[in-house]
Structure 1
Amino acid sequence: MTDILGYKGKRVIVSGCFSGMGEATAKLLVDLGAEVHGFDFKESAVPMASFTQIDLRDPASLEAAVAGVGGKIDALFNCAGLPGGGGFPAMDVMKVNFLGTRHLTEQVVPLMGQGGAVVSIASTGGLGWSRRIPVHMQLLATKGFDAGLAWCEANVEQVSEGYAFSKEAVIVWTQFMGAQLIKKGIRINCSLPSPTQTPMMATFHATSGKEVVDAAAEPLGRYTTPAEQAGPLVLICSDLAGVVNGIVMPVDGGFMGGLATGQVDITKMMSAASRQPA
């Protein structure tokens, strides 16, 4: 079984391929023989089949990028994102982390067939999703980028600084769409990374505090690498994961398990619960 993951010859799109988890994901997919088409605000050095500059805050750029790739798409990797904690305007964070991600996915899904797969990067910062499902369902009920943005602007008290709410939205949306897309033979999942050594980390340290970030890196005791995050993303969209759908997959070195069993001290994180990193 030389192609056990089934990527050889598959056509895939990776958003956020310039750096971090997205770059590592694109590199791995190229190595596995996929035809990789990269999207990002900054040009990527990964030797992909094509690269298109996009701005996830601009739905027209997303529509043009997908039209430019055209043809059948087998998998979409939503890896682009902005950190929170006030490092960027809250609405920009919402546009990039959720509204643009949703809009891009909605452009790609019609190009998918049976066996198609989507994965998005959420965060341990979105752990409050279960307490706000009714609120998130209001956002999910909006149709299109502009309507979603209008809802966010009318509910700034929920959006807050943008990061936690946007990642919660990715989680709830993933679970909701899992039950919708599977009827078309398309799977959608998301990952929940623990702190990862990407270019965003400096912003997380500045806005949330290094002690908060470090607390979210337990019990592993270190930050993960982009490559360690990329592997599970590639696995979950592979042929081996053919019925894995609508899940929120922790990729956190045991953080979630340690939290559930009282082995991770959450008190250090409580003061900045809405600004947790990934």
Structure 2
Amino acid sequence: MSDVLGYKGKRVIVSGCFSGMGEATAKLLVSLGAEVHGFDFKESAVPMASFTQIDLRDPASLESAVGGVGGKVDALFNCAGLPGGGGFPPMDTMKVNFLGTRHLTEQVIPLMGDKGAIVSIASTGGLGWSRRIPVHMQLLATQGFQAGLDWCEANQDQVAEGYAFSKEAVIVWTQFMGAQLIKKGIRINCSLPSPTQTPMMATFHATSGKEVVDAAAEPLGRYTTPEEQAGPLVLINSDLAGVVNGVVLPVDGGFMGGLATGQVDISKMMGAAKKQDA
């Protein structure tokens, strides 16, 4: 039972391994005996089997990176992302958080054969997904990175500042692809972290406002750590979660449950956000 999660000897890819949740995930996977191949824009200090510099805004770099890993890939962890609040150009945020993530995943899937697992980090900031499913299905109908980008540029009113829409897109894509990929023996899920103490937090505070971020950290009353977010990612891609598929998993200390049962005051977040916009 020492390898109950089943990672020993497995070949995995972690995108976004330089810092934050991705770095914590890569470290945990290394400790579990996995052969970890890391991708990021900045070089990681984690002692992995390999590291490849990528730019999720550049599909050619993703194709080259996956080609360099080659062989059988058992699991993919999509942990790279840009923060919201207008800190980055909307199209850059869309490219990194969704279009590049989707393109990278599409390159890895053929290497998985008849069994594999994929998990992506979405966000509680993407909670509006259910109100815009028809719009997101239009985006999902696009084939390839450039076609997806063309759609986004033609629908900038929907994309807005990029963050919320990109995270909604990850959520809808995960649920849609879950029903498709499981027929090939491949699972896909995503997580919804509450505010987490990563290097991106300073940007979240500067662009969205600390009051908004703090409101999303209830009822836990604090930010989570990258390690607390990495554990569920590793679990959901493990052998123990063999039929967990198409799931949008809150990893938020009870935020979603509190919101659903009226114990989290969403107006605090909305009111603070309006003040930021004023």
TM-score, shorter chain, exceeding 0.5: yes
Residue by residue over 1:50-92, the C-alpha shift from the partner in whole angstroms, topping out at 9 and shown as x without a partner, is 0000000000000000000000000000000001111000000
CA distance in 1, matches of 2:145, 2:84: 20
Deviations 1:86-112 (A, max 9, x none): 100000000000000000000000000
Decide whether aligned partners of structure 1 residues 10 and 272 sit closer, same or farther in structure 2, where only a CA change above 3 A counts. farther
Conservation of the 8 A alpha-carbon contact between 2:119 and 2:189: yes
Task: Name the CA shift for 1:140/1:114 in 2 (closer, same or farther; >3 Å).
Answer: same
Tell me the SS of whatever aligns to 1:119.
strand
Identity %: 90
Aligned-residue CA RMSD (Å): 2.2
Whether the 8 Å contact between 1:125 and 1:277 is mirrored in structure 2 is no
| Cα deviation digits, residues 224-253 of structure 1 (max 9, x gap) | 000000000000000000000000000000
**CA distance in structure 1 between the aligned counterparts of 2:59 and 2:94, rounded to whole angstroms:** 13
Distance in 2 (alpha carbons) for counterparts of 1:168 and 1:155 = 15
Contact 2:195–2:217 under 8 Å retained in 1: yes
For residues 163-204 of structure 1, the C-alpha deviation after alignment (integer angstroms, 9 at most, x for no partner) is 000000000000000000000000000000000000000000
Q: Is residue 43–residue 51 contact of structure 1 (8 Å, CA) maintained in 2?
A: yes
Work out whether residues 164 and 276 of structure 1, in 8 Å CA contact, stay in contact via their aligned partners in 2. Answer: no
Is contact 1:123–1:277 with CA below 8 Å preserved after alignment? Answer: no
Mapped contact 2:211–2:272 kept (Cα < 8 A): no
- Cα 1:95–1:272 change in 2 (3 A) is farther
Tell me: CA distance 1:217–1:81, structure 2 relative to 1, closer, same or farther (3 Å): same
Alpha-carbon offset, residue 114 of structure 1: 2.8
After superposition, the Cα gap between the structure-2 partners of 1:196 and 1:252, relative to the gap in structure 1 and judged at 3 Å, is same
Which stretch has the larger CA shift, 13-22 or 105-114?
A: 105-114
TM-score (norm 1): 0.98
- Structure 2 residue ranges without an equivalent (≥5): none
**Is the contact made by 1:12 and 1:34 (CA closer than 8 Å) also made in structure 2?**
yes
Task: Call closer, same or farther: CA 1:275–1:194 in 2, change over 3 Å.
Answer: farther
Matched length: 278
- Does the C-alpha gap of structure 1 residues 174 and 192 become closer, same or farther in structure 2, counting only changes over 3 Å? same
Distance 1:125 1:39 in 2: 24
Q: Return the TM-score normalized by structure 2.
A: 0.98
- Alpha-carbon shift at residue 115 of structure 1 (Å): 2.8
Shift of 1:272: 6.6
